[in-house]
């Protein structure tokens, strides 16, 4: 038999209990079984510049003489990404899983299983499944010019 008892709150995150015959979770106030969160952050930036100068000479046709070629360009950008992956907390009993709380029992990203599951909850029982999230933002800007001047 596996047992956990506290006078205040019982809190577990990324707990994995593996099939003991009987498991008891007991708290005078709240029992909180919460998913652990793996967080990943990605950031990056880039930039480039380019400039060129050219001189040409032409005879015949509509324009004769020197030509000056000018060009410049630049670009910059950045990326930001965040992801949160929830890892469920698992509590299982081969026979009986007992959960007793004086106030609330919260299973937020948690799996509680057994042949028999007894829950004596003083106030509220909350069972939710938090969703994984991914956000990714990218911004790229560029500008340039080119001029051809006949001299």
Report the pLDDT value the prediction gives residue 7, as an integer from 0 to 100: 45
What phi, psi does 42 have (nearest 5°)? -125, 130
Report the pLDDT value the prediction gives residue 15, as an integer from 0 to 100: 52
CA 39/CA 112 separation, integer angstroms:
24
Segment 8-25 shows an average pLDDT of: 65
Higher pLDDT, 19 or 75: 75
State pTM to two decimals: 0.64
CA 112/CA 57 separation, integer angstroms:
83
Contact in structure between 70 and 146 (CB atoms under 8 Å) = yes
Minimum mean pLDDT range among 12-21, 44-53, 142-151? 12-21
pLDDT digit string, tens, across residues 32-46: 999 999 999 999 999
In 3-state terms, what secondary structure has residue 95?
A: strand
């Amino acid at each position: 038999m596996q047992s956990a008892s506290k006078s205040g709150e019982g809190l577990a995150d990324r707990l994995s209990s593996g099939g003991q015959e009987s498991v008891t979770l007991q708290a005078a106030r709240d029992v909180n079984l919460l998913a652990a969160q793996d967080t990943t952050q990605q950031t990056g930036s880039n930039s480039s510049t380019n400039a060129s100068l050219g001189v040409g000479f032409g005879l015949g046709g509509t324009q004769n003489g020197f030509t000056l070629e000018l060009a410049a360009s630049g670009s910059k950008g950045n990326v930001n990404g965040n992801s949160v992956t929830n890892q469920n907390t698992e509590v299982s009993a081969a026979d009986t899983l007992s959960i007793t709380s004086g106030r609330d029992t919260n299973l937020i990203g948690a799996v509680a299983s057994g042949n028999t599951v007894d829950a004596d909850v003083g106030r509220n029982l909350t069972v939710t499944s938090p969703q994984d999230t991914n956000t990714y933002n990218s911004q790229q800007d560029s500008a340039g010019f080119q001029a051809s001047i006949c001299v």
